[in-house]
């Protein structure tokens, strides 16, 4: 079995630059999310990730369910057990239908999801498949979601690609509790 490679930063011993990011995390999130124990080793990087991650956590254009679809599908794409376990719970709590969560966990696009959430499911699938779509499909996404939501999905998937890879590289096993990685 692979050993957990996470090396948390002790806030009492953190550098000035690390303390600045820790303070911002406290203001924006009230805690130090797990991936920041990796990113804080590079405080300038952690500073940028804090801005993006806090934004994703409080998206002004995506609902919580829409955000969780993007996060869970990204974690499944990267086969990141820690992130999958946490965000499966979050997706269900946010109101993503159980059938849709099961499809995402199986690596399939959810079917029978209507309205805007269904369009988000399709867009996330297309983005994770490489983003190469025809003009008509893009126009449909733009008409339903708008460009701000499309941009938000891209950033959410990008951010959680980093989270997923970080958790897997550092061999964090899924945990039982209700912890959040975002």
Q: 108: domain range?
A: 64-169
- CATH number (domain holding residue 79): 1.20.1290
Please give the Cα distance from 151 to 143 (Å, whole number): 14
Q: How many domains does the chain contain in total?
A: 2
Residue at 178 is within a domain: no
Residue at 22 is within a domain: yes
* Residue 128 pLDDT exceeds 50: yes
Residue at 180 is within a domain: no
Q: Is the four-CA dihedral 136, 139, 144, 145 of positive or negative sign? A: positive
75/128 same-domain check: yes
Please give the Cα distance from 68 to 74 (Å, whole number): 10
**Percent residues over pLDDT 90 in the chain:** 79
46/75 same-domain check: no
- What tens digit of pLDDT does each residue of 97-111 get? 999 999 999 999 999
Evaluate if pTM is beyond 0.85: yes
Q: Which two tokens stand for residue 53?
A: 């991650």
Confidence of residue 173 (pLDDT cuts 50, 70, 90): confident
Please give the Cα distance from 92 to 87 (Å, whole number): 8
18/108 same-domain check: no
Backbone phi and psi for residue 155, each to the nearest 5 degrees, phi listed first: -70, -40
Model pLDDT, residue 3: 79
Model pLDDT, residue 46: 96
Residue at 175 is within a domain: no
Class of residue 79 by CB neighbours under 10 A (exposed 0-12, middle 13-18, buried 19+)? exposed
Confidence of residue 176 (pLDDT cuts 50, 70, 90): low
Please give the Cα distance from 121 to 77 (Å, whole number): 14
Measured in residues, the chain has a length of 182
């Amino acid at each position: 079995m692979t050993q957990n490679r996470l090396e948390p930063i002790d806030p009492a011993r953190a550098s000035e630059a690390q303390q600045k990011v820790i303070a911002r995390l406290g203001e924006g999130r009230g805690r130090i999310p797990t991936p920041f124990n990796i990113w804080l080793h590079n405080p300038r990087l952690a500073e940028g990730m804090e801005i993006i991650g806090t934004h994703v956590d409080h998206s002004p254009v995506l609902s919580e369910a829409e955000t969780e679809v993007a996060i869970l599908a990204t974690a499944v794409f990267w086969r990141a057990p820690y992130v999958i376990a946490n965000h499966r719970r979050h997706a269900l709590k946010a109101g993503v239908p159980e059938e849709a969560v099961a499809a995402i966990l199986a690596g399939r696009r959810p079917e029978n999801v209507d309205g805007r959430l269904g369009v988000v499911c399709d867009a996330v699938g297309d983005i994770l498949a490489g983003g190469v779509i025809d003009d008509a499909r893009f126009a449909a996404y733009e008409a339903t979601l708008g460009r701000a939501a499309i941009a938000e999905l891209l950033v959410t998937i990008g951010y959680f690609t980093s989270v997923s890879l970080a958790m897997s590289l550092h061999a964090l096993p899924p945990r039982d509790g209700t912890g959040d990685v975002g």
